[in-house]
A and B are shown apart, each in its own frame.
Chain A
Amino acid sequence: MKNFCVLFFLFFFVNVSFAQNHDLKRGDNAKQQLQKVDSHKGHNHALGDHSGHDHGGHDHSGHDHSGHDHSGHDHSGHDHAKSNKKNHQKGAHSDHGHDQGHHSHVNACGDEIHDHSAVFNPGAVAFHHISDHNVYSIGPLQFSLPCILYTHGGGVDFFSSGRFDADYHGIGRKAYNGYVLYEGQVKKILGDFPSGEVELGDHAIYAVETEVDGKKKDKFYTCLNGTKHEIVSKSTLDAGLFGGGITTFTDFSLTKNVVSMLIVCLFLFFMFRSIAKAYKTREGQAPKGVQSLMEPIIVFIQDEVAKPILGDKYMRFLPLLLTLFFFILGLNLFGQVPFFGGSNVTGNLSVTLVLAVIAFVVTNVNGNKDYFKHIFNMPGLPGWVKTIVTPVEFMGMFIKPLTLMLRLFGNITAGHMVIVIFVGLIFIFGQNGANAIAGWGTAIVSTLLTLFMMSIELLVAFIQAYVFTLLTASYIGSAVEEHDDHH
């Protein structure tokens, strides 16, 4: 019960700091309300000066305990206040600056710019949180990542995403070689655009809702010296099914997900390497330390998954199953570690697709004669039944890994989204700071819900890693199984 109370307060402060960040982007009225709230809480939070330092220092209390720092930050109002101030001081980019309290204005190219973050959109926040990015943001820190961009029919650009000079939203203030950064993702300016570094200013990239083939779609533009340039997203392989498709460039960058994968893989590698060494140096002795922590898991996969399903061939596939299990588990847990940007790697279809393809390839490469006979020419069935069974079995070959791919993707993505949305309830009920009492009330409920959800997600991280491994083992098992008696 004591632990629960401690956890509750940690989560509560996370939520509150999130709420405060968001509230600040509201008008003066909301700010004053918040100031009252702040003084009650004893925060030394000078509202006149929301510089990066103050921001970072204040948020620290939340970040230390939070898994939501990322979304909290990227949609906070701090950066708005900051950027506006900067604009006023410089007196430049006046076409991009927007006064506090106003939600839209018209830019030099005649487009109405909506301040999309003035009104809280839980869906947008959640989708931003689960996306892959070309910058790695941990709290107020933005780590630049290497961009490797291939222009179709052109060359390869290789540079750091720091060139975009991104703000807290992951929106670049600069263009580089015709590439820009929007919501943490690299996009390309179509048509003629000066190469090298080009200053765009704050919030220079904006979305305009347009109708394409009767469907509403966001099109991105930037306005440079009164000229409107269209911006396209990177190529995706969904052929327009999910609103993507092949565009003019492909992003081979070391994105946040790739970096997360590298971190987790290196960590796991060095950990298991030391465990393997421990088995050698401490041969004949009882396991100790991290070795005894991991041994039950390894033995569990070996004895409960590999041995019963694969029989005496288990040693051939055990390394694959263990690698799959720890890769998925490591990334599932890494996405939940507070303070690490909450990267959503196993909740990305591209990642689960690769894992599913590997499961598919291993299954079918190791498939014996019986396995393929059961698919294409099921023994003991009359011919006309085979005409039904064979297509079904053939489809099953692909549906099995497809379900693997979707299950992992869906579970992890949903978990990430639910947590963000639970935190987002504060703004929905608090009406973006206009109703501070409701906001605070919801913060308590939201904290409980988030706490509950985080515990569930911890369980899900293990369950999904186990289920993926178990099903992969069962698919391989059915492919390598020896049938001696027949129907």
Chain B
Amino acid sequence: MLFIQLLDFSPIKPDLGLILWTSVIFLLFLFMMSKMAFKPIANALRSRENDIQSSLDEAKKAKAEMASMKAENEKLLVEAREERAAMLKDAKEAKSQIISEAKTNAKLEANKILESAKVEIVNQKNAAMVEMKNQVGSMALDIAEKVIKKELQNDAAHQSFVNTLVSEIKLN
């Protein structure tokens, strides 16, 4: 205490003037800082904190949505793939059916054409035969006529006989 008194340790002595000024300055400072600085800052910080929290929540929600969407997409993809396979299978079946149908039709048509061709051939052959018979007959007649003319001038009995013989010739 003696030492302190001799050296005048003044900061420890409460000084009314300094107390008064400190009170005035601090209270004014407190008032101004609260009203104009710290309250707006604290409010801004709080609203930003809320913003960040809600943004995070939203992001989480979006992520979950994305995940569910992805699952759905995959399901759709699988379905599409299955559908494609089914369609391909159907197409193949249709193709082979069409081909086989076409084949049968073609065969039938070919057979029909073949049949008609055969019939035509037979008809043509018959016609050709008839004509040939007629030709052969007239030729033979001519020959015979010439022969007989020579032998039998205007012999009716021979004529009718020859005719009878000609009509007797039957082709096959």
Contact = CB atoms under 8 A, between A and B. Distances in A.
Interface of A: 123-124, 127, 130-132, 148, 183, 185, 209, 215-218, 233-238, 242-244, 250-255, 257-258, 261-262, 265, 268-269, 272-273, 275-276, 279-280, 283-284, 295, 298-299, 302, 315, 318-320, 322-323, 326-327, 344, 347-351, 353-355, 358, 409, 413
Interface string B1-38: 11111111111111111111111011111101110111
Contact of B33 (A148, A251, A272, A348): A272
Contacts of B9: 127, 242-243
A207 to B, nearest CB: 9
24 contacts: A132-B18, A215-B1, A218-B6, A233-B8, A236-B16, A238-B12, A238-B13, A243-B4, A251-B16, A252-B17, A254-B21, A268-B33, A269-B32, A273-B36, A273-B37, A276-B44, A302-B42, A319-B30, A319-B34, A323-B38, A350-B15, A358-B26, A358-B27, A409-B12
A244 B1 CA distance: 12
Contact of A323 (B5, B11, B14, B29): B29
Contacts of B18: 132, 255, 257-258, 348, 350-351
A298 B45 CA distance: 9
B10 A185 contact: yes
Nearest to B2: A216
A183 B9 CA distance: 12
A290 B10 CA distance: 37
A354 B6 contact: no
Contacts of A132: 10-11, 15, 18
Interface residue tally of chain B, by bracket? 35 or more
Nearest to B27: A358
Contact of A242 (B4, B23, B45): B4
Contacts of A327: 26, 29
A263 to B, nearest CB: 11
Interface string B96-139: 00000000000000000000000000000000000000000000
Nearest to B5: A243
Contacts of A358: 26-27, 30
Which of A123, A269, A272, A350 has the most chain B CB within a 10 Å cutoff? Answer: A350
Contacts, number: 177
A320 B36 contact: no
B16 A235 contact: yes
A275 B6 contact: no
Given A217-B5, A242-B4, A355-B26, A349 B16 contact: no
A327 B23 CA distance: 12
Interface of B: 1-23, 25-30, 32-34, 36-42, 44-46, 48, 51
B11 A130 contact: yes
Given A218-B8, A276-B41, A319-B30, A261 B25 contact: yes
Nearest to B21: A258
Nearest to B49: A299
A191 B10 CA distance: 24
Contact of A251 (B17, B32, B41): B17
A131 B36 contact: no
A268 B32 CA distance: 11
A237 B8 contact: no
A392 B15 CA distance: 29
B99 to A, nearest CB: 70
A279 B15 contact: no
A484 B107 CA distance: 103
Contacts of A123: 3, 7
A217 B38 CA distance: 48
B26 to A, nearest CB: 6
Most buried by B among A254, A276, A295: A276
A217 B6 contact: yes
Contacts of B25: 258, 261-262, 265
Given A217-B6, A349-B13, 13 more contacts: A132-B10, A215-B1, A218-B6, A237-B16, A242-B9, A243-B13, A252-B21, A269-B32, A298-B45, A319-B39, A323-B29, A347-B11, A354-B22
A253 to B, nearest CB: 6
Given A123-B3, A302-B45, A319-B39, A237 B10 contact: no
A132 B44 CA distance: 39
| Max count, chain A CB within 10 A of own CB: residue among B20, B36, B42 | B42
Contact of B22 (A148, A243, A350): A350
B15 A243 contact: no
A42 to B, nearest CB: 38
Contacts of A131: 8, 10-11
Contacts of B22: 258, 261, 350-351, 354-355
B103 to A, nearest CB: 76
